[in-house]
Structure 1
């Protein structure tokens, strides 16, 4: 486990409910396209890696697939099991999966590759558990992000808070361009074929306080930065957030936040 992986385990520990109440709806947007790219339908055996609160697993079950889902965080496993009672939901930490070679017809991962220290090794493991001719479908967040993706980070910067120097990042040899071609190249390097990528764009509509509740509860990387500040600094970040929200306010008072992600589908 890299220092990046260890930090990921720390920042997500016990935060499934906070994620479900803040960012889970955003992450659910690409799910139908993700399942289409993996050919998920009735009778297909699917592995959902990094299932989180179980949105993808539940949607795959609704299509009649036979679903196994894994996540590295116990609180996520608990919620996913409730969201997708027809699925087999297990605890597992990438890049090591407790399955035999060629077990699944398809593997899907919704934004999970953003959270692993060795993306290439992770993809090699996903290839191992897919049968020959089976499918892979993945989403990642783009970098640079769309304006809605950068709102929270802009609030932190506007409050004068810098990224703590001790927080880990991917090693240069493990990083890759967060673009359709960047992910396609990484997938091909892991031994998959016929990889095709595209950029998905959508507006996420959400109440400002719901959007703020994620970082205020310590969810994800920015949440750790926010909750790690003294009380007066947290208050200034929130003030800057409120100011910046005016750029995205819709007529009903909800935020209209442009987002974009990369979707790649491939064959084993």
Structure 2
């Protein structure tokens, strides 16, 4: 089987000729920054001072601290993925009703905001919604609404989810826009002519058409939120237990650094992503005939 794969690959390379040359730097970058680090992390997760061992994985699942950090990251990622997907999908649907000139301008704006994340995003939220932030002070002085007196706290889990949603919504918007654009107006008109109501159209035609793209977009949003580090760290300074912050502390900590344990946590994170991708592929496959 492996010989057949190698033989087919050789045939494709000979057939493509010089067209394969631009892919060589991409292959080198993938090896240097993705494949080799992944192999090293897997090796480091089972390599200890006493040799190869699964002790790091055992310690993670025995420690309540690490289990809680994994649970928190999963809950935050799922919440951000669902909220971001809902807002992004409705935004993409709304954008379709605008003229082409406005669509291009808004798409450019959304593309710009999707790249605003990390420490600058956390600082922007602190300036706006911190204890003495601009919005916080204005709402208290002009409207009599004390956000922090009402229970809001930017430096809590609510704040983390709120900040994560900011860079997740534009990403969901850009991911869902092509799928929404493919849902042509003539399909809706044909359904209405045949007697379908708005609810019936979306239940039988609209949602089944968009569902594969929604599942794929949710997987990307989930992965994006699960791996986010700088924004949460700048906002809470390790006060909230997230697995990405825990990994960073284990690698850069001055008191108890443990690269093997950090690698094991990274492997578990990768396993979560693989499971989500497999579930997403299975759901896509099962939803293939929903609209028929």
TM-score by structure 1 length? 0.24
Of Structure 1 and Structure 2, which has the larger fraction of its residues in strand?
A: 1
Of Structure 1 and Structure 2, which has the larger fraction of its residues in helix?
A: 2
Larger radius of gyration: 2
TM-score by structure 2 length? 0.22
